[in-house]
């Protein structure tokens, strides 16, 4: 599976949040909870996947592509969100 992303957004996320879009497959290989992101009428299907990177709960937003996924954003979950999501990881 290929992972693609905007290189400028990747650099910003790495500098500001310490998260690398290149780690997307690592997040998806472990226990995850994936939900469709239908909050807005996006031009493509979007998904929110919760999983762990370096023992921290992370939210990654992504969309499928013909050859894999394109990462849109990634952030650490805040404490309240982590308490709600962690028990639901599959």
> Domain map of the chain by residue range?
2-88
pTM: 0.92
How many whole angstroms from its chain centre is CA 59?
4
Question: Domain 2-88 belongs to what topology?
Answer: Nuclear Transport Factor 2; Chain: A, (3.10.450)
- Report pLDDT for 90: 66
- Report pLDDT for 55: 87
1-31 pLDDT, tens digit each: 899 999 999 999 999 999 999 999 999 998 9
End-to-end Cα distance, the chain? 21
Two structure tokens written together for 8: 């400028």
The H-or-E segment that residue 80 falls in is helix 79-85
Neighbouring residues of 78: CB distance < 8 A, sequence distance ≥ 6 = none
């Amino acid at each position: 599976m290929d992972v693609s992303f905007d290189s400028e957004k990747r650099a910003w996320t790495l500098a500001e949040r310490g998260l690398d879009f290149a780690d997307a497959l690592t997040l998806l290989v472990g226990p995850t909870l994936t939900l469709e992101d239908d909050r807005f009428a996006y031009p493509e299907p979007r998904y929110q996947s919760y999983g762990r990177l370096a023992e921290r709960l992370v939210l990654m937003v992504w969309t499928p592509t013909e050859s894999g996924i394109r990462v849109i954003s990634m952030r650490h979950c805040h404490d309240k969100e982590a308490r709600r999501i962690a028990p639901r990881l599959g």
